[in-house]
Amino acid sequence: MSERPTRRGFASRPADPEQWIKAADSAPRDSDAGSFTARLTIDVTPELRGRIKIAAFRRGVTVADMLRELLAREFPLDPDGDHP
């Protein structure tokens, strides 16, 4: 019987993790920094997720936009370019 071909899985680890991490720091091809995003995944309880969704709905914004604003407010750009 023939063997299955070895395929790289969706969540497989990169061969060179350091290069993979640094790749996110490179500038986007169209040089519009605002169009470059990275996905951030966090674990929250279903109750907190519900409260977040309700808060966003009441404000008339998406959850993503509300959380981006919150993170930008909590972690402002330092004028010197240094990170705390």
Q: What is the pLDDT along the chain (84 residues), one digit of tens a residue?
A: 566 666 655 566 667 767 766 665 655 555 555 666 788 899 999 999 999 999 999 999 999 999 999 999 999 988 776 655
What does the pLDDT read at residue 28? 53
What pTM, to 2 d.p., does this model score? Answer: 0.52
What does the pLDDT read at residue 29? 56
User: What 3 state SS string does the chain have?
Assistant: CCCCCCCCCCCCCCCCHHHHHHHCCCCCCCCCHHHCCCCCCCCCCHHHHHHHHHHHHHHCCCHHHHHHHHHHHHCCCCCCCCCC
What does the pLDDT read at residue 33? 55
What does the pLDDT read at residue 31? 52
